[in-house]
Structure 1
Amino acid sequence: MKCWNLSHHYTYMDSELTSPPVVSALRESFGDRKPPDITRKITACVACRKQKVKCHMREGQVPCSRCKKRGLPCSVNRSLQTLLEEDVTWKGAIQRKMRRLEETVAAMAAKIDFPELQVNEANLEHREHSIGPTVEAITTNPGIGTSLPLGQTSGPKESRNLPQTWQVIEDPPGGPASIPASCVSENGRAGHSNNPPDSRRPDLISTGLISLRQALTLFETYHLRLDHFLYRILGDHISLDSVRIASPLLTAAVCTVGALHCRSLGHLFGTCFSEYKGLVVSQTFSRHVGDDDIRGLCIGAFWLHELSWALIGNAVRIASEINLHSGIYKALKGDRDGYLRARLYYLVYVCDHHFSIAYGRPPMSREGSIIDSASQLLETEHATEDDARLISQVKEWSILGRVFDTFGVDVDTSIAPQALPQLRRYSIYLDTWFADWNEQFKANQNVGNYPQKGVGFHFHFAKLYLCSHAFRGIAASTDMARWMSPELEDIANTGVLSAMSILRVIVEDHEFRSFLNGLPLYFDTMLAFAVVFLLKVATKFANVIRIDTAKILALVTNTVAVLSEITQEMHGEHLLVVISGGLKRLLERCQMPMPDSHETMLQPSLEEHSTALDVSWIENMASFDFQTHFPHLDEWWLHYNTSMGLPGRSTLS
């Protein structure tokens, strides 16, 4: 009978403790699938076992009836085997849940094309070891979890190696004449292609930062007006939905710049700007960037002064990495994708030069066959008038790039006499450029007569930059009145005339004034330069070149008044708002109450203040950096000195 009871007991145990796979694997590691003898189920609490009395527990749950009646602590000691099996069972359940969760997240990431959410297999293996052994690990390595030394793994798994994206290409394009690094490269353009047209990644609309209605208004503000100042950066994207599918970064850029120029939704600028910055940061080291992300970077660079230099630097890097410049070869053969990529490279080129040459920085985008072939793009079937406007800019900045390479940024050294012929040649190049493009463009339904008027404005900007070189080194001369030769004086006067032409357009052309709340940062920067350049010449160098000081100051006064009026309607974060305030304070410091004679009394006042107006940087834009000194513009306006670094305390307080 006793033997029968024992057999019945084991039968009961096997039926009650139906072992999960991980428990069975653990038992097999000890050489037997059935529980060892020491694992007989304990059904008596510690107190009853100690008194050797029968223990009555309802459904095996403590406390038993005796301990409950007597108020004694009731607990059941479990065997080591039971504890180990329960631990393994728990770990197996957790691993299965984690695996299902990670597979779900991976499926979602693949669906929305969000590679940052893809499961890292190496990290997954580390987590599995940190939680406990898997079923497979237990069955193949019986000692795991109990006897493996620290740091020892269960063996390599080929399936868990990270995917190798680099390879040696046996037959690169071009054969023996191929580009050297093309034989060791990534698989195709992995990580740099545009997203599939049916994918949509989260953006500031889907995440609830702004509503769809607000986004549509901001998109229309940008698409129907601002984008036409810059030759249609959006390209074929003519709807908000198309932009959202293309790139969250592009969507954020459009909404941010739109909010900067939209009175009704200007309060959204901070929200959009923060989201845009976050996307730029996350994109910096991403391997999934493409043409539309470059568009988003360019839009931000053209209009967002705090980020422009960093944005265009990133855009140039990516454009070079994905060989955007090679699109011209396919474009000239009639390929539309090649055409779109070529014109995008030209946009990057122009944007790069906007924020390099005028700031004394060498451009990052290079000259070459794509720049030499720019005019040929206009002969393709896909070319539009917007492309002609873009190519005109490429041609102008190619000239100014050569000016930068020839004369550098040493504003303390005067132009050598033997270099004057080259400076005149560059002046002739700019005159020819103006003659070629001045009558090319007609009125645009989105931006009026800006295409034609913009050519003249860019021309005077370029001439002012070039001719300001005539003033280099003049501050170091002991006799400034005799220092400038007649030829150099002629160049200097040309610069003064160009600066005055810029201000006359602002004062007299009502239509052009309406463009100021929309034109890119380069216009704001060069407009400020033109004003300060004229003030500098009128206050310190009126005896060096023949100018009408009173006429210049009257023009500057009218310009500052117009800018003050215009900027009242602009967003507070617009660069021109701060420039307008800085120019107004600068003019106030230069002037004094005028008695009977405007001309006779103003000049001595200006000469009196000339020693305090330390703006020696004005001889050239090389040392002028709005990006660095913008937050302290008020103090910096008058006191920036290239030889002293950061501005000091005002002496006119």
Structure 2
Amino acid sequence: MDDGPPCVRCKKRGLPCTVNKSLQMILESDAEWKTKTDNRIGVLECALGKVAKIHSLPELLDYDMDDVTDEVSDPVESHSRNSVASSSQEEKHTAQNFDMVKDDSAGPGAIPGSVVSPVIVHTAEANRTDQDIITRGIVTLDQAQSYLDIYQNRLDHFVYRIMGDRRTLSQVRKASPLLLAAVCTVGALHLASEEFEGCYQEFVTIAATQTFSRHNTIDDVRGLLIGAFWLSGISWTCIGAAVRIATELQLHRSIFKALGGERRHYLRTRLYFLVYICDHHNSISYGRPPMTREDDTIRASSAFLQTEHAVEDDARLISQVKFWSLGTEIYETFGVDVEKVVTLDMIEPIRRYANKLDEIRAYWTARFSHNRYVGNYPRKGVGLHYHFAKLYLYSIAFRGIGHPGFKSPEVERDIDELATSALSSATAILKTVVQDPEIQDFLTGLPTYFDIMIAFAVVFVLKILTKHAAAVRIDTNGIHELVADLVQVLKVITSTMHPRHLLVSVARGAETLLERVRVPDAHGSFPANPHVVMTQPTFDDTLYDISSQWNGTSFDNFYMGEFDFLGTQEVMNNYQYQPDLYQELPSGMIGNVEDYQ
């Protein structure tokens, strides 16, 4: 049957026939046309936005905004707003519906939460390549390649290869914009590149966008880890996100298949070990409870080394797991109440943990040899971590100092012994930096944890020197000279570093404190009741305030982050107006500014 014109009626009468569209047909056609036109305009706007971002043409980006100002006070901040706005349009977050799941491959002993799964609504996903730091014109291909080279050939080997297998720039770009931004930011920092600030801003922007994303990958975890290890101002935020995403991706459950020889799960498990280590770097030293626990993966760390894919870097990785696993025991045994005086029942556990640290050091030092990328760091790094851990452990002897019951007769000799050992560990750290040229070379690439602990050792010995030399046997002139030598060494090391590198702040702060130290005379001039105030570090709520001025106090707060134990010149000069001002130390040790006058 012919449904086209003319119709049967017109055909019988020999009349011409045209179809008269009904109103409904007209409306439907109009709606279809508008939909297609809107889609085309959307595509054109998206393409125009990309061109505008690459060529820095804000007038194209903002032409339809009612609240656009004629002048932009901060180009970096404006760039950040445009980046976030673009990302928010690309991936919209809506409340999820959930459904029941009956997995026939799982038995009745399955995890309770595994039976409920979000209903995936296939909306337009974020185009992650739009966030590529190269595509957006922040760095060139050649610059990105140089940053990747310094990272993979040097920095990555200090942390046992976060990247896993070696990758090309093209592979990193495809893997994760966040990973690429992290590599470029950390590479730019260590090459003292002018591009660091732009890279840093881009990394923070992408990381913030990824916080609520439902499309995170293990390469995003790698990017967050790189940021947490080397970007001190945002390390706590980065590792918090990394722990959450790693848990969502079930990295902590890959150990079982890794032990069975599956390479994919071997790589996932070693990444989880890195998350564990980085978490503890940023937790225990600050008196915070770690987010990662002593689970099946951590308990099976020794067995992991027996798998067919394990290499020497994995042995170095597991040595750190052992150190920090013991550190967790110490933390949980003695807690964070730094005003609680040491009692007799605490002495034996301290000695027992000290013996375990001795065993760990002896075992792992003998296992490691020269590394083609980082020289003798595998062996010497064990020694540094050992002294850091010993200082953390023995500093417990000073808890409750100045309070009633401190150094009671039953523990007086034990506390004196532990205090002397703490001082010995602190000076060992400083002597190692001063006397070992290879360690000095390492400091240009080591994660910020090492800078923090060196700074802690400096403040610790100066506190003993100025406040407690009468209570601890100490060579006052020798300590003063040691710190002075350290300052000179750090000034040489940091002379070619990027000014945003944490060690630059450490060197400057150590010099400032040394200048203000009052070395006691031969007879000693000490307070009758010496007292060290201890508290917890405060959270740096200016973490994302990148528009702050990077000079003076703001400079130190930006990059020193929540462990700005040194204070700035402005703080030191104005202390008389703020007599209760405290200066923060890693592991929660705080001292009044007046202690160094």
Q: TM-score, normalised by structure 1?
A: 0.71
- What displacement does 1:186 show? 3.9
SS at match of 2:254: helix
The reply to whether residue 349 of structure 1 matches residue 349 of structure 2 is no
State the alpha-carbon separation in 2 of the partners of residues 425 and 171 from structure 1: 47
1:382 corresponds to: 309
Residue 603 of structure 1: which of 504, 520, 523 is its match? Answer: 520
Q: Sort the Cα spacing of 1:22 and 1:376 in 2 relative to 1 into closer, same or farther, 3 A.
A: farther
- What displacement does 1:486 show? 1.1
Q: Is the 8 A contact 1:249 1:296 kept in 2?
A: yes
2:133 corresponds to: 204
**CA deviations over 1:456-494 (Å, ceiling 9, x no partner):** 000000000000000111122588797961122111111
State the alpha-carbon separation in 2 of the partners of residues 350 and 573 from structure 1: 24
Q: Sort the Cα spacing of 1:402 and 1:173 in 2 relative to 1 into closer, same or farther, 3 A.
A: farther
1:560 corresponds to: 487
Residue 177 of structure 1: which of 109, 133, 143 is its match? Answer: 109
State the alpha-carbon separation in 1 of the partners of residues 188 and 526 from structure 2: 41
Q: Sort the Cα spacing of 1:303 and 1:433 in 2 relative to 1 into closer, same or farther, 3 A.
A: same
1:640 corresponds to: 582
State the alpha-carbon separation in 2 of the partners of residues 327 and 165 from structure 1: 28
The reply to whether residue 224 of structure 1 matches residue 153 of structure 2 is yes
- What displacement does 1:498 show? 0.8
**CA deviations over 1:535-571 (Å, ceiling 9, x no partner):** 1112211221222222222211111221122111111
Residue 434 of structure 1: which of 340, 361, 370 is its match? Answer: 361
State the alpha-carbon separation in 2 of the partners of residues 283 and 231 from structure 1: 25
State the alpha-carbon separation in 1 of the partners of residues 589 and 421 from structure 2: 30
The reply to whether residue 94 of structure 1 matches residue 26 of structure 2 is no
Amino acid corresponding to residue 34 of structure 2 in structure 1? I
SS at match of 2:99: strand
State the alpha-carbon separation in 1 of the partners of residues 168 and 361 from structure 2: 35
State the alpha-carbon separation in 1 of the partners of residues 133 and 22 from structure 2: 47
State the alpha-carbon separation in 2 of the partners of residues 342 and 652 from structure 1: 46
1:8 corresponds to: none
Count residues in correspondence: 514
Larger displacement relative to structure 2 (177-186 or 307-316): 177-186
2:58 corresponds to: none
SS at match of 1:604: coil
Residue 318 of structure 1: which of 237, 241, 245 is its match? Answer: 245
**CA deviations over 1:106-142 (Å, ceiling 9, x no partner):** 99xxxxxx9976698xx9xxxxxxxxxxxxxxxxxxx
Amino acid corresponding to residue 97 of structure 1 in structure 2? T
SS at match of 2:568: helix
State the alpha-carbon separation in 2 of the partners of residues 347 and 301 from structure 1: 11
Q: Is the 8 A contact 1:231 1:389 kept in 2?
A: yes
Of structures 1 and 2, the larger Rg is shown by 1
State the alpha-carbon separation in 1 of the partners of residues 155 and 142 from structure 2: 19
State the alpha-carbon separation in 1 of the partners of residues 282 and 227 from structure 2: 12
- What displacement does 1:420 show? 1.2
1:236 corresponds to: 165
State the alpha-carbon separation in 2 of the partners of residues 612 and 418 from structure 1: 25
- What displacement does 1:604 show? 2.5
Q: Is the 8 A contact 2:465 2:479 kept in 1?
A: yes
State the alpha-carbon separation in 2 of the partners of residues 579 and 304 from structure 1: 15
- What displacement does 1:240 show? 1.4
Q: Sort the Cα spacing of 1:461 and 1:557 in 2 relative to 1 into closer, same or farther, 3 A.
A: same
Q: Sort the Cα spacing of 1:588 and 1:178 in 2 relative to 1 into closer, same or farther, 3 A.
A: same
- What displacement does 1:92 show? 5.8
Q: Sort the Cα spacing of 1:479 and 1:341 in 2 relative to 1 into closer, same or farther, 3 A.
A: closer
State the alpha-carbon separation in 1 of the partners of residues 511 and 203 from structure 2: 32
Q: Sort the Cα spacing of 1:614 and 1:588 in 2 relative to 1 into closer, same or farther, 3 A.
A: farther
Larger RCO, structures 1/2 (Cα 8 Å, 6+ apart): 2
Q: Is the 8 A contact 2:365 2:382 kept in 1?
A: yes
Q: Sort the Cα spacing of 1:475 and 1:104 in 2 relative to 1 into closer, same or farther, 3 A.
A: same
Larger displacement relative to structure 2 (565-574 or 92-101): 92-101
State the alpha-carbon separation in 2 of the partners of residues 562 and 369 from structure 1: 43
1:587 corresponds to: 514
Residue 513 of structure 1: which of 436, 440, 452 is its match? Answer: 440
What are the equivalent positions in structure 2 for 1:67-82 lying under 5 Å apart?
none
State the alpha-carbon separation in 2 of the partners of residues 350 and 424 from structure 1: 24
- What displacement does 1:417 show? 1.0
Q: Is the 8 A contact 1:353 1:363 kept in 2?
A: yes
Q: Sort the Cα spacing of 1:223 and 1:641 in 2 relative to 1 into closer, same or farther, 3 A.
A: closer
Q: Sort the Cα spacing of 1:444 and 1:479 in 2 relative to 1 into closer, same or farther, 3 A.
A: closer
SS at match of 2:564: helix
Q: Is the 8 A contact 2:468 2:530 kept in 1?
A: no
1:444 corresponds to: 371
Amino acid corresponding to residue 98 of structure 1 in structure 2? D
Q: Is the 8 A contact 2:431 2:482 kept in 1?
A: yes
Q: Sort the Cα spacing of 1:535 and 1:180 in 2 relative to 1 into closer, same or farther, 3 A.
A: same
Residue 144 of structure 2: which of 184, 201, 215 is its match? Answer: 215
Amino acid corresponding to residue 276 of structure 1 in structure 2? F
State the alpha-carbon separation in 1 of the partners of residues 589 and 413 from structure 2: 33
Q: Sort the Cα spacing of 1:614 and 1:209 in 2 relative to 1 into closer, same or farther, 3 A.
A: farther
- What displacement does 1:174 show? 3.2
Q: Is the 8 A contact 1:166 1:185 kept in 2?
A: yes
Indicate the percent of aligned positions where both proteins have the same amino acid: 43
Q: Is the 8 A contact 1:172 1:182 kept in 2?
A: no
State the alpha-carbon separation in 2 of the partners of residues 536 and 577 from structure 1: 22
The reply to whether residue 168 of structure 1 matches residue 100 of structure 2 is yes
SS at match of 1:167: strand
Amino acid corresponding to residue 604 of structure 1 in structure 2? D
State the alpha-carbon separation in 2 of the partners of residues 368 and 587 from structure 1: 44
Amino acid corresponding to residue 96 of structure 1 in structure 2? K
The reply to whether residue 281 of structure 1 matches residue 208 of structure 2 is yes
Q: Is the 8 A contact 2:185 2:200 kept in 1?
A: yes
Q: Which runs of 5+ in 1 are unaligned?
A: 1-13, 27-87, 108-113, 124-161, 592-601
Q: Which runs of 5+ in 2 are unaligned?
A: 1-16, 48-85, 541-559, 576-580
State the alpha-carbon separation in 2 of the partners of residues 529 and 647 from structure 1: 12
1:493 corresponds to: 420
Q: Sort the Cα spacing of 1:118 and 1:467 in 2 relative to 1 into closer, same or farther, 3 A.
A: closer
SS at match of 1:267: coil
State the alpha-carbon separation in 2 of the partners of residues 616 and 273 from structure 1: 35
The reply to whether residue 616 of structure 1 matches residue 533 of structure 2 is yes
SS at match of 1:438: helix
User: What's the RMSD between the two structures over aligned residues?
Assistant: 3.9
State the alpha-carbon separation in 1 of the partners of residues 164 and 240 from structure 2: 21
Q: Sort the Cα spacing of 1:254 and 1:390 in 2 relative to 1 into closer, same or farther, 3 A.
A: same
Q: Sort the Cα spacing of 1:606 and 1:203 in 2 relative to 1 into closer, same or farther, 3 A.
A: farther
**CA deviations over 1:299-348 (Å, ceiling 9, x no partner):** 00000011100010011111111211001111000001110110000000
Q: TM-score, normalised by structure 2?
A: 0.77
**CA deviations over 1:119-169 (Å, ceiling 9, x no partner):** 98xx9xxxxxxxxxxxxxxxxxxxxxxxxxxxxxxxxxxxxxx99774312
Q: Is the 8 A contact 1:465 1:621 kept in 2?
A: no
What are the equivalent positions in structure 2 for 1:115-154 lying under 5 Å apart?
none
Q: Is the 8 A contact 1:312 1:348 kept in 2?
A: yes
SS at match of 2:232: coil
- What displacement does 1:627 show? 2.7
Q: Sort the Cα spacing of 1:460 and 1:24 in 2 relative to 1 into closer, same or farther, 3 A.
A: closer
- What displacement does 1:641 show? 6.2
2:293 corresponds to: 366
Q: Is the 8 A contact 2:176 2:220 kept in 1?
A: yes
Q: Is the 8 A contact 2:565 2:583 kept in 1?
A: no
Amino acid corresponding to residue 174 of structure 1 in structure 2? A
